[in-house]
C-alpha cells in the first residue's frame, strides 16, 4: 500500500525495483492511485533500475536498449489508442447517468440499442468494402434528376445508384488489361453469405456470454454485504463522478433488496379463476388484433401493387401511393403495442418483469407476423409480377418501411412521452409522469433490424441508413427519457433482460430472415434485365458455375472437393448437427453440475 510521504515513496520504489517485471506490473496496478500517479511511480522505478544497473556495470547492449525502447513505445501507443477509442464512445457517460437515474431495466434498452448500432456499423463496412467500392469502378453516369422526394420514396434518382441491387453489374471488373479481375457475382453472394455467417456467430457468442453472466454465474447477480462494502471505487475523485457512482450504487442496492424481499401472494380459488379468465381474454384480444392487422396489410399490399403497376395521373400521386403501405404498417406497429400495454395493466401482474415479458411476446408476435406477410407478398407476388427488376422494387419497399418506421419511432417519443407528460402534469395530475415502455421500444429496434437484414440482399447500403437512424434514435430517446419520464415506480432487477433481447433478435428474427434469404437465393429466378445475377436460373447458380470452371484447374481440386463433400452434402450437415447437439447437451450437464456446486459452496460460506 502506498503511503504519502518522501520516505514511504522511496521505500516503495526501492521494493518495486527489486521485483521481477511481472510482479512489478501487478503491484503497480494494485496501487489505490490515479493513472497519472501510477505512471509517475512506474517511471521512477524504471529510473531506479537504470541507476542500479549502471552501478553494477551491467549496461545493456545497444540491441537490448532498442528492443526495450520499442516495447515501451508500442505499449504507450496501445494505451493511447485504447484511451482514444474509449473517448470516441460518446454514449458511455450517458449510459452511466441512465443506469443511476432509472435503474438497470431502462438501461438495458440503451445498451441493446448501442449494441445494434455497432452491429450495423460492422455490416455497413463489410458491404461497402466488398460490394459498393468495386461497383464504383464499373458504374455508369446517372442521367436521372434529383428532386428531393427520393429521400422519402426511395425511387427515381436512387434507382440508378449503388443503393439498390438492380444497379450492380454482372460483369467481371478489371481496370488493367491482363491484370487481376473482380467477379461481381461471386463477390455479391459470398459477401452476403459470409456476413450472415458472421452475424450468426456473433449472436450465438453474445447469447452465450450474457447467459453465462446472468444465468450460470449467480455470484454476479447476488445481493450481499459485498455490494455495500466492496463496490466503491476509491480512484474516483471528481465530485460529479462521485455523486453519479452513489446514485448508481443506491439503485443497485434497491433492486437487490426488492428481489430479496419479493413476496409471494396467495390467491383464493375464485381469484385464481378470475385471473386466468382475464389472461385468456387478453391473449384472445391480442392474437385477434394481430391477425386482423396482418390481413389488412396483405390486402393493402395487393391493391397497392395493382395501383402502382397501372400508373397514376401524375408523378406526385404515384409517389404518394408508394408511401401508403409503409405508413399503414408503421401505424399498426406503433398503435397496437399501446393497446397491448393497456391489456397488461388490466391483467395486474405480480411483478413488472412479468408485465414486460408478456407484452414483449405479444408485440413480437404482431411485428413478426406483419414482416412474414410482407415477405410472402414480396417473394410470391412481387417476384412473379411482370416487372423489369423486381429485386429493386423489393429494395424500395424495404427502404420506405425502414424510413417511415424511423419517423414513427420519433413521433412515438413525442406523442407517447412528451404529450403524455404534458397531460399528466397539467390536465390530469393524478396520472403523473409516464414510465419508459421498455417492451415496446425494444421490439421497435428488433423490427427495424429485421427489415435491415432482409433488405441487405436487395439494398446493400441499408445498414448504413439504419446506422444513422439508430444513432439519432439513441439521443432522441435519451432526451425524451430525461425530460419526460420518471424512474420505474417498482424498482426491480433485470439480470436476464439483455439475454432475452438477443435471444428474440436471434429467434424468430434472424432465423426467419435466413429462411427468406435462403428462398430468394436458391428458389427464385433473378430478373433478366438487372442485377449481378441476370440471366441465371437462381442466384446460387453463380456458385455452381464457378465450381464447374474450377474443375478444369488441378490446383483448385481441393475447393471442388470441399464443395461436393461438405457444402453440398446433407450427410455432412447431419453429422455436424448431431455433434453440436451432443456437445450442447454435455455443456448443459456441466452447467447444471456447476450451479449445484455453487449453491453448496454458497451455503458453506453463509454457515
pLDDT in tens, 160-173: 889 999 899 888 88
Give residue-wise pLDDT tens across range 334-349. 889 888 888 888 887 7
Instruction: Tell me the Ramachandran region of residue 606: left when phi exceeds 0, alpha when psi lies from -120 to 50, beta otherwise.
Output: alpha
pLDDT at 265: 63
Q: Find the length of the chain.
A: 607
Q: Cα 385 to the chain's mean position, in Å?
A: 35
Neighbours of 182 (CB within 10 A): 17
Average pLDDT over residues 401-425: 86
Q: Kindly state the cell numbers that stand for 409.
A: 419511432
State the pTM of this model. Answer: 0.78
Instruction: Name residues whose C-beta falls within 8 Å of residue 36's C-beta, 6 or more positions apart in sequence.
Output: none
Give the CA-trace dihedral at 299, 300, 304, 307, to 10 degrees: 70
Structure confidence by residue, pLDDT tens digits, 547-560: 888 888 888 888 88
Q: What is the mean pLDDT of the chain?
A: 81
Q: Which pLDDT tens digit goes with each residue over 476-529?
A: 999 888 888 887 766 555 556 778 888 889 988 999 999 999 999 999 999 988
Poorest-confidence range of 2-11, 195-204, 447-456? 2-11
How many other C-beta atoms are found inside a 10 Å radius of the C-beta of residue 217? 14
301-314, pLDDT tens digit by residue?
888 777 666 655 55
Cell of 177: 488489361
In whole angstroms, give the CA distance from residue 508 to residue 119.
Answer: 18
Residue scoring higher pLDDT (232 or 195):
195
Give the H or E element holding residue 44: helix 35-55
Residue 446 to residues 287, 364, 452, 588, Cα–Cα distance (Å): 20, 9, 10, 28
Per-residue pLDDT reduced to its tens digit, 43-94:
888 888 877 766 655 455 666 667 767 776 776 666 665 555 555 566 777 8
- Given a contact cutoff of 8 angstroms between Cβ atoms, the answer to whether 110 and 91 are in contact is yes
- Proportion of the chain above pLDDT 70, given as a percent: 82
d(C-alpha 259, C-alpha 264), whole Å:
12
> Is 352 in contact with 277 (CB distance < 8 Å)?
no
Please enumerate in sequence order all residues whose Cβ is within 8 A of that of 418, keeping only pairs 6 or more positions apart, or say none: 480, 483, 484
Quick one: pLDDT band at residue 6, thresholds 50, 70, 90? very low
Sequence-ordered list of residues with C-beta below 8 angstroms from that of 88, at least 6 positions apart, any chain:
none
* Cβ contact 469:402 at 8 Å: yes
List, for residues 217-236, the tens digit of each pLDDT value: 544 444 455 666 666 766 67
pLDDT at 93: 78
The model's confidence at residue 366, banded by pLDDT at 50, 70 and 90, is very high
Amino acid at each position: 500500500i502506498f503511503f504519502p510521504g518522501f520516505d514511504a515513496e522511496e521505500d516503495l520504489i526501492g521494493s518495486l525495483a527489486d521485483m521481477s517485471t511481472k510482479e512489478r506490473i501487478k503491484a503497480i496496478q494494485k496501487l489505490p492511485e490515479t493513472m497519472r500517479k501510477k505512471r509517475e511511480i512506474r517511471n521512477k522505478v524504471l529510473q531506479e533500475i537504470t541507476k542500479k544497473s549502471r552501478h553494477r556495470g551491467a549496461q545493456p547492449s545497444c540491441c537490448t536498449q532498442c528492443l526495450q525502447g520499442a516495447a515501451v513505445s508500442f505499449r504507450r501507443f496501445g494505451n493511447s489508442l485504447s484511451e482514444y477509442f474509449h473517448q470516441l464512445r460518446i454514449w458511455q457517460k450517458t449510459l452511466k447517468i441512465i443506469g443511476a437515474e432509472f435503474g438497470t431495466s431502462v438501461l438495458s434498452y440503451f445498451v441493446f440499442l448501442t449494441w445494434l448500432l455497432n452491429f450495423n456499423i460492422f455490416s455497413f463496412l463489410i458491404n461497402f468494402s466488398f460490394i459498393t467500392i468495386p461497383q464504383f469502378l464499373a458504374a455508369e453516369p446517372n442521367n436521372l434528376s434529383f428532386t428531393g422526394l427520393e429521400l422519402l420514396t426511395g425511387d427515381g434518382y436512387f434507382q440508378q445508384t449503388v443503393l439498390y441491387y438492380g444497379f450492380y453489374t454482372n460483369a467481371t471488373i478489371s481496370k488493367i488489361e491482363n491484370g487481376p479481375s473482380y467477379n461481381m457475382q461471386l463477390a455479391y453472394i459470398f459477401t452476403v453469405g459470409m456476413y450472415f455467417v458472421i452475424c450468426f456467430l456473433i449472436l450465438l457468442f453474445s447469447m452465450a456470454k450474457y447467459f453465462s453472466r446472468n444465468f450460470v454465474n449467480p455470484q454476479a447477480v447476488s445481493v450481499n454485504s459485498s455490494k455495500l462494502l466492496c463496490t466503491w471505487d476509491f480512484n474516483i475523485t471528481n465530485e460529479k463522478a462521485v455523486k453519479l457512482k452513489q446514485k448508481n450504487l443506491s439503485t443497485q442496492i434497491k433492486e437487490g433488496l426488492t428481489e430479496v424481499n419479493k413476496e409471494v401472494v396467495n390467491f383464493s380459488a375464485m381469484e385464481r379463476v378470475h385471473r386466468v379468465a382475464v389472461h385468456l381474454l387478453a391473449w384472445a384480444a391480442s392474437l385477434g388484433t394481430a391477425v386482423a392487422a396482418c390481413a389488412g396489410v396483405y390486402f393493402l399490399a395487393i391493391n397497392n401493387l395493382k395501383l402502382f403497376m397501372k400508373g397514376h395521373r401524375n408523378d406526385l400521386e404515384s409517389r404518394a401511393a408508394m408511401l401508403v403501405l409503409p405508413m399503414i404498417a408503421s401505424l399498426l406497429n406503433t398503435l397496437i403495442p399501446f393497446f397491448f400495454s393497456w391489456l397488461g395493466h388490466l391483467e395486474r401482474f405480480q411483478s413488472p418483469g412479468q408485465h414486460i415479458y408478456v407484452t414483449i411476446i405479444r408485440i413480437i408476435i404482431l411485428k413478426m407476423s406483419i414482416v412474414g406477410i410482407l415477405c410472402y407478398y414480396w417473394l410470391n407476388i412481387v417476384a412473379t409480377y411482370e416487372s423489369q427488376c423486381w429485386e429493386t422494387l423489393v429494395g424500395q419497399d424495404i427502404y420506405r418501411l425502414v424510413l417511415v418506421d424511423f419517423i414513427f419511432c420519433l413521433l412515438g417519443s413525442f406523442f407517447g412521452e412528451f404529450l403524455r407528460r404534458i397531460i399528466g402534469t397539467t390536465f390530469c395530475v393524478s396520472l403523473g409522469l409516464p414510465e419508459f415502455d421498455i417492451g415496446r421500444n425494444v421490439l421497435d429496434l428488433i423490427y427495424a433490424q429485421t427489415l435491415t437484414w432482409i433488405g441487405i440482399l436487395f439494398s446493400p447500403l441499408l445498414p448504413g441508413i439504419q446506422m444513422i437512424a439508430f444513432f439519432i434514435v439513441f439521443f432522441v430517446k435519451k432526451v425524451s427519457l430525461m425530460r419526460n419520464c420518471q424512474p420505474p415506480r417498482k424498482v426491480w432487477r433485470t439480470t436476464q433482460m439483455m439475454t432475452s433481447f438477443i435471444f428474440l433478435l436471434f429467434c424468430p428474427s434472424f432465423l426467419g430472415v435466413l429462411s427468406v434469404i435462403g428462398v430468394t437465393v436458391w428458389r427464385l429466378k433473378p430478373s433478366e434485365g438487372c442485377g449481378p445475377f441476370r440471366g441465371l436460373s437462381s442466384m446460387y447458380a453463380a456458385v455452381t458455375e464457378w465450381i464447374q470452371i474450377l474443375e478444369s484447374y488441378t490446383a483448385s481440386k481441393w475447393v471442388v472437393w470441399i464443395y461436393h463433400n461438405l457444402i453440398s452434402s446433407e450427410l455432412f450437415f447431419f453429422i455436424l448437427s448431431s455433434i453440436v447437439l451432443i456437445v450442447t447437451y454435455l455443456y448443459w450437464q456441466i452447467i447444471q453440475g456447476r450451479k449445484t456446486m455453487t449453491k453448496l459452496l454458497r451455503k458453506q460460506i453463509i454457515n
